Homo-oligomer: A and B are copies of this chain.
Protein backbone atom coordinates (compact mmCIF):
# COMPACT_ATOMS: atom_id res chain seq x y z
CA UNK A 1 0.00 0.00 0.00
CA UNK A 2 1.43 3.38 -0.98
CA UNK A 3 1.52 6.35 1.39
CA UNK A 4 -0.40 9.28 -0.03
CA UNK A 5 1.44 12.56 0.66
CA UNK A 6 -0.40 15.84 1.08
CA UNK A 7 0.60 17.85 4.15
CA UNK A 8 3.77 19.96 4.60
CA UNK A 9 4.72 17.49 7.37
CA UNK A 10 4.49 14.57 4.93
CA UNK A 11 6.92 16.29 2.55
CA UNK A 12 9.26 17.41 5.31
CA UNK A 13 9.42 13.76 6.44
CA UNK A 14 10.82 12.77 3.00
CA UNK A 15 13.43 15.47 3.28
CA UNK A 16 14.65 13.96 6.55
CA UNK A 17 14.82 10.44 5.14
CA UNK A 18 16.47 10.91 1.74
CA UNK A 19 19.77 12.56 0.76
CA UNK A 20 19.85 11.56 -2.90
CA UNK A 21 16.91 12.38 -5.13
CA UNK A 22 16.68 10.74 -8.56
CA UNK A 23 14.20 12.11 -11.08
CA UNK A 24 12.71 10.94 -14.33
CA UNK A 25 12.29 13.96 -16.66
CA UNK A 26 9.32 13.87 -19.05
CA UNK A 27 6.05 13.76 -17.10
CA UNK A 28 7.86 14.67 -13.85
CA UNK A 29 9.81 17.88 -14.57
CA UNK A 30 8.10 18.87 -17.80
CA UNK A 31 5.57 17.93 -20.45
CA UNK A 32 7.34 18.22 -23.80
CA UNK A 33 8.32 21.90 -23.84
CA UNK A 34 6.33 23.05 -20.80
CA UNK A 35 7.82 23.00 -17.31
CA UNK A 36 5.51 21.60 -14.59
CA UNK A 37 4.40 24.20 -12.09
CA UNK A 38 6.67 24.54 -9.05
CA UNK A 39 9.39 22.17 -10.26
CA UNK A 40 12.16 24.78 -10.52
CA UNK A 41 11.48 25.95 -6.94
CA UNK A 42 11.38 22.39 -5.56
CA UNK A 43 14.73 21.50 -7.17
CA UNK A 44 16.25 24.72 -5.81
CA UNK A 45 14.83 23.92 -2.37
CA UNK A 46 16.38 20.41 -2.47
CA UNK A 47 19.75 21.89 -3.45
CA UNK A 48 19.43 24.44 -0.61
CA UNK A 49 19.16 21.49 1.79
CA UNK A 50 22.32 19.99 0.20
CA UNK A 51 20.43 17.10 -1.37
CA UNK A 52 22.13 15.29 -4.23
CA UNK A 53 20.02 15.69 -7.38
CA UNK A 54 20.23 13.16 -10.28
CA UNK A 55 18.22 13.10 -13.50
CA UNK A 56 17.68 9.65 -15.00
CA UNK A 57 16.29 9.42 -18.55
CA UNK A 58 15.93 6.63 -21.09
CA UNK A 59 16.39 9.04 -23.98
CA UNK A 60 19.24 7.47 -25.97
CA UNK A 61 19.27 9.72 -29.03
CA UNK A 62 20.79 12.67 -27.17
CA UNK A 63 24.05 12.89 -25.29
CA UNK A 64 23.90 14.46 -21.81
CA UNK A 65 25.44 17.63 -23.24
CA UNK A 66 22.73 18.03 -25.84
CA UNK A 67 20.03 16.91 -23.39
CA UNK A 68 21.22 19.64 -21.01
CA UNK A 69 20.04 22.15 -23.64
CA UNK A 70 16.49 21.18 -22.70
CA UNK A 71 17.20 21.80 -19.01
CA UNK A 72 18.66 25.21 -19.85
CA UNK A 73 15.76 26.08 -22.14
CA UNK A 74 13.22 25.32 -19.39
CA UNK A 75 15.24 26.98 -16.63
CA UNK A 76 16.13 23.77 -14.76
CA UNK A 77 19.61 23.76 -13.26
CA UNK A 78 21.67 20.62 -14.03
CA UNK A 79 25.40 19.94 -14.10
CA UNK A 80 27.04 17.80 -16.76
CA UNK A 81 30.63 17.02 -17.71
CA UNK A 82 32.07 18.48 -14.52
CA UNK A 83 32.87 15.27 -12.73
CA UNK A 84 32.09 14.30 -10.06
CA UNK A 85 29.14 16.63 -10.45
CA UNK A 86 27.43 14.89 -13.40
CA UNK A 87 23.74 15.05 -12.70
CA UNK A 88 22.18 13.80 -15.94
CA UNK A 89 22.21 10.06 -16.65
CA UNK A 90 20.80 9.00 -20.01
CA UNK A 91 20.59 5.41 -21.19
CA UNK A 92 23.20 6.12 -23.90
CA UNK A 93 25.60 7.47 -21.26
CA UNK A 94 24.79 4.44 -19.08
CA UNK A 95 25.70 2.12 -21.98
CA UNK A 96 29.05 3.93 -22.36
CA UNK A 97 29.72 3.86 -18.61
CA UNK A 98 28.75 0.18 -18.48
CA UNK A 99 31.45 -0.55 -21.06
CA UNK A 100 34.12 1.77 -19.60
CA UNK A 101 33.58 1.34 -15.87
CA UNK A 102 31.42 -1.69 -15.10
CA UNK A 103 32.76 -4.39 -17.42
CA UNK A 104 35.90 -2.36 -18.22
CA UNK A 105 36.22 -3.11 -21.96
CA UNK A 106 39.93 -3.76 -22.65
CA UNK A 107 41.89 -1.12 -24.60
CA UNK A 108 41.94 -1.88 -28.30
CA UNK A 109 38.44 -3.35 -28.27
CA UNK A 110 35.54 -1.51 -29.87
CA UNK A 111 31.80 -1.63 -30.26
CA UNK A 112 29.54 -1.82 -33.29
CA UNK A 113 26.79 0.81 -32.94
CA UNK A 114 23.18 0.81 -34.09
CA UNK A 115 22.28 4.28 -32.85
CA UNK A 116 22.66 7.99 -33.34
CA UNK A 117 25.28 10.65 -32.73
CA UNK A 118 24.24 11.14 -29.07
CA UNK A 119 25.19 7.54 -28.32
CA UNK A 120 28.43 7.87 -30.27
CA UNK A 121 29.30 11.06 -28.38
CA UNK A 122 28.86 9.34 -25.01
CA UNK A 123 30.97 6.36 -26.13
CA UNK A 124 33.66 8.76 -27.31
CA UNK A 125 33.66 10.66 -23.99
CA UNK A 126 34.10 7.40 -22.11
CA UNK A 127 37.01 6.45 -24.39
CA UNK A 128 35.18 3.59 -26.13
CA UNK A 129 36.13 3.13 -29.80
CA UNK A 130 33.17 2.51 -32.06
CA UNK A 131 32.18 1.78 -35.66
CA UNK A 132 28.83 1.72 -37.49
CA UNK A 133 26.25 4.19 -36.15
CA UNK A 134 26.26 7.42 -38.16
CA UNK A 135 29.12 6.28 -40.48
CA UNK A 136 27.79 6.98 -44.01
CA UNK A 137 29.09 3.55 -45.14
CA UNK A 138 26.53 1.90 -42.87
CA UNK A 139 23.75 4.46 -43.36
CA UNK A 140 22.63 2.95 -46.65
CA UNK A 141 19.77 1.12 -48.27
CA UNK A 142 22.08 -0.49 -50.84
CA UNK A 143 21.98 -4.31 -50.89
CA UNK A 144 24.16 -5.97 -48.27
CA UNK A 145 26.22 -9.01 -49.21
CA UNK A 146 28.19 -11.12 -46.76
CA UNK A 147 30.66 -11.89 -49.57
CA UNK A 148 32.12 -8.39 -49.35
CA UNK A 149 31.99 -8.10 -45.55
CA UNK A 150 35.17 -8.18 -43.47
CA UNK A 151 34.60 -8.83 -39.77
CA UNK A 152 36.52 -6.39 -37.53
CA UNK A 153 38.21 -8.73 -35.01
CA UNK A 154 38.30 -6.00 -32.33
CA UNK A 155 34.53 -5.65 -32.03
CA UNK A 156 33.62 -6.99 -28.58
CA UNK A 157 30.09 -5.60 -28.22
CA UNK A 158 27.09 -4.46 -30.22
CA UNK A 159 25.29 -1.46 -28.66
CA UNK A 160 21.80 -0.72 -29.93
CA UNK A 161 19.77 2.42 -29.21
CA UNK A 162 17.05 4.36 -30.98
CA UNK A 163 18.27 4.82 -34.56
CA UNK A 164 16.15 6.57 -37.17
CA UNK A 165 18.72 5.48 -39.77
CA UNK A 166 18.32 1.79 -38.98
CA UNK A 167 18.68 -0.49 -42.01
CA UNK A 168 19.38 -4.06 -43.16
CA UNK A 169 23.14 -3.48 -43.48
CA UNK A 170 23.41 -2.46 -39.81
CA UNK A 171 21.31 -5.41 -38.62
CA UNK A 172 23.25 -7.83 -40.84
CA UNK A 173 26.64 -6.63 -39.60
CA UNK A 174 25.52 -6.62 -35.95
CA UNK A 175 24.15 -10.14 -36.43
CA UNK A 176 27.54 -11.32 -37.79
CA UNK A 177 29.42 -9.83 -34.82
CA UNK A 178 27.02 -11.43 -32.35
CA UNK A 179 26.94 -14.88 -33.96
CA UNK A 180 30.51 -15.37 -35.19
CA UNK A 181 31.99 -14.31 -31.83
CA UNK A 182 30.03 -15.95 -29.00
CA UNK A 183 31.70 -13.61 -26.46
CA UNK A 184 30.45 -10.48 -28.20
CA UNK A 185 28.14 -8.56 -25.82
CA UNK A 186 24.63 -7.59 -26.90
CA UNK A 187 23.71 -4.30 -25.20
CA UNK A 188 20.57 -2.19 -25.64
CA UNK A 189 20.27 1.32 -24.23
CA UNK A 190 16.67 0.73 -23.20
CA UNK A 191 13.64 -1.41 -23.91
CA UNK A 192 10.98 1.27 -24.44
CA UNK A 193 8.66 -0.10 -27.11
CA UNK A 194 7.63 3.40 -28.23
CA UNK A 195 9.17 6.85 -28.38
CA UNK A 196 7.04 9.93 -27.62
CA UNK A 197 7.81 12.30 -30.52
CA UNK A 198 6.34 15.81 -30.49
CA UNK A 199 3.52 14.63 -32.79
CA UNK A 200 2.80 11.20 -31.34
CA UNK A 201 4.22 7.77 -30.63
CA UNK A 202 6.84 6.19 -32.90
CA UNK A 203 8.74 2.89 -32.52
CA UNK A 204 11.19 3.16 -29.59
CA UNK A 205 14.67 1.82 -28.84
CA UNK A 206 13.26 -1.54 -27.71
CA UNK A 207 11.66 -1.94 -31.13
CA UNK A 208 14.95 -1.03 -32.84
CA UNK A 209 16.81 -3.85 -31.07
CA UNK A 210 13.92 -6.30 -31.64
CA UNK A 211 15.23 -7.76 -34.96
CA UNK A 212 18.51 -8.79 -33.27
CA UNK A 213 16.65 -10.10 -30.24
CA UNK A 214 14.46 -12.20 -32.57
CA UNK A 215 17.28 -13.37 -34.86
CA UNK A 216 19.50 -14.35 -31.90
CA UNK A 217 16.72 -15.72 -29.73
CA UNK A 218 18.15 -13.86 -26.75
CA UNK A 219 17.61 -10.61 -24.85
CA UNK A 220 20.21 -7.83 -24.65
CA UNK A 221 21.81 -6.43 -21.52
CA UNK A 222 19.76 -3.30 -21.02
CA UNK A 223 21.34 -0.16 -19.54
CA UNK A 224 18.15 1.92 -19.24
CA UNK A 225 15.34 1.94 -16.70
CA UNK A 226 13.94 -0.32 -15.27
CA UNK A 227 17.16 -2.36 -15.42
CA UNK A 228 19.35 -2.06 -12.34
CA UNK A 229 22.34 -1.97 -14.71
CA UNK A 230 21.50 1.75 -15.02
CA UNK A 231 22.04 2.07 -11.24
CA UNK A 232 25.32 0.13 -11.50
CA UNK A 233 26.43 2.77 -14.02
CA UNK A 234 25.39 5.67 -11.77
CA UNK A 235 27.17 3.92 -8.87
CA UNK A 236 30.34 3.75 -10.99
CA UNK A 237 30.29 7.56 -11.22
CA UNK A 238 28.90 8.91 -7.97
CA UNK A 239 28.54 7.96 -4.32
CA UNK A 240 25.11 7.49 -2.81
CA UNK A 241 23.51 5.40 -0.10
CA UNK A 242 20.60 3.38 -1.59
CA UNK A 243 18.89 3.42 1.80
CA UNK A 244 18.80 7.22 1.75
CA UNK A 245 17.87 7.55 -1.94
CA UNK A 246 14.46 8.12 -3.50
CA UNK A 247 13.46 7.70 -7.15
CA UNK A 248 10.72 10.06 -8.40
CA UNK A 249 8.86 9.08 -11.57
CA UNK A 250 5.58 8.98 -13.46
CA UNK A 251 5.77 5.44 -14.90
CA UNK A 252 5.23 2.35 -12.82
CA UNK A 253 6.90 -0.13 -15.19
CA UNK A 254 10.06 1.94 -15.79
CA UNK A 255 10.70 4.56 -13.07
CA UNK A 256 9.08 2.94 -10.05
CA UNK A 257 10.23 -0.57 -11.01
CA UNK A 258 13.74 0.84 -11.54
CA UNK A 259 13.74 2.24 -7.98
CA UNK A 260 12.44 -1.04 -6.58
CA UNK A 261 14.97 -3.14 -8.57
CA UNK A 262 17.73 -1.00 -7.06
CA UNK A 263 16.45 -1.06 -3.47
CA UNK A 264 15.54 2.65 -3.50
CA UNK A 265 12.46 4.33 -2.06
CA UNK A 266 9.98 5.38 -4.75
CA UNK A 267 7.70 8.37 -5.21
CA UNK A 268 5.07 8.31 -7.96
CA UNK A 269 3.81 11.64 -9.32
CA UNK A 270 0.52 11.80 -11.22
CA UNK A 271 1.59 14.47 -13.72
CA UNK A 272 2.57 11.90 -16.36
CA UNK A 273 1.49 8.56 -17.74
CA UNK A 274 0.07 6.99 -14.55
CA UNK A 275 -3.41 7.97 -13.37
CA UNK A 276 -4.87 7.64 -9.86
CA UNK A 277 -7.03 4.75 -11.16
CA UNK A 278 -3.92 2.76 -12.17
CA UNK A 279 -2.85 2.45 -8.55
CA UNK A 280 -6.22 2.02 -6.85
CA UNK A 281 -9.04 -0.45 -7.45
CA UNK A 282 -9.05 -4.08 -8.43
CA UNK A 283 -7.07 -3.76 -11.69
CA UNK A 284 -4.19 -1.82 -10.18
CA UNK A 285 -0.58 -2.63 -11.08
CA UNK A 286 1.45 -5.07 -8.95
CA UNK A 287 4.22 -2.41 -8.91
CA UNK A 288 3.45 -0.36 -5.81
CA UNK A 289 5.34 2.90 -5.13
CA UNK A 290 6.20 3.73 -1.51
CA UNK A 291 4.81 7.25 -1.85
CA UNK A 292 2.35 9.00 -4.14
CA UNK A 293 1.75 12.72 -4.67
CA UNK A 294 -0.08 14.69 -7.33
CA UNK A 295 2.92 16.64 -8.58
CA UNK A 296 6.57 17.22 -7.78
CA UNK A 297 5.51 20.88 -7.39
CA UNK A 298 3.59 19.87 -4.22
CA UNK A 299 6.91 19.76 -2.35
CA UNK A 300 6.99 23.57 -2.49
CA UNK A 301 4.92 23.57 0.72
CA UNK A 302 8.10 22.55 2.62
CA UNK A 303 9.80 25.79 1.74
CA UNK A 304 6.75 27.84 2.59
CA UNK A 305 6.30 26.20 5.98
CA UNK A 306 9.98 25.93 6.93
CA UNK A 307 11.13 29.37 6.05
Contact = CB atoms under 8 A, between A and B. Distances in A.
A217 interface: yes
Contact of A143 (B164, B168, B206, B212): B164
A203 B164 contact: no
Contact of A211 (B167, B197, B207, B215): B207
Contacts of A202: 144, 146, 168, 172, 175
A147 interface: yes
A293 interface: no
A198 B149 CA distance: 13
B145 A199 contact: yes
Contacts of A2: none
A160 to B, nearest CB: 11
A167 B146 contact: no
A163 interface: yes
Interface string A105-121: 00000000000000000
Given A145-B199, A166-B167, A171-B203, 7 more contacts: A141-B141, A147-B198, A175-B201, A193-B217, A206-B214, A207-B212, A207-B215
A146 B211 CA distance: 23
Interface residues of chain A: helix, strand, loop or mixed (majority):
mixed
A209 to B, nearest CB: 8
A101 interface: no
Given A193-B217, A213-B210, A165 B145 contact: no
Contacts of A199: 145-147
Give the 7 A-B residue pairs with the shortest CB-CB distance, closest first.
A146-B199, A210-B210, A210-B214, A207-B211, A207-B215, A164-B168, A203-B215
Contacts of A215: 193-194, 203-204, 206-207, 210
Contacts of A166: 166-168, 171
A197 B164 contact: no
A246 interface: no
B167 A141 contact: yes
Nearest to A176: B200
A191 to B, nearest CB: 9
Contacts of A165: 141, 167-168
Nearest to A140: B141
Contacts of A39: none
Contacts of A217: 193
Contacts of A206: 214-215
A88 to B, nearest CB: 24
A165 B167 CA distance: 7
Given A165-B141, A168-B166, A207 B203 contact: no
Contacts of A157: none
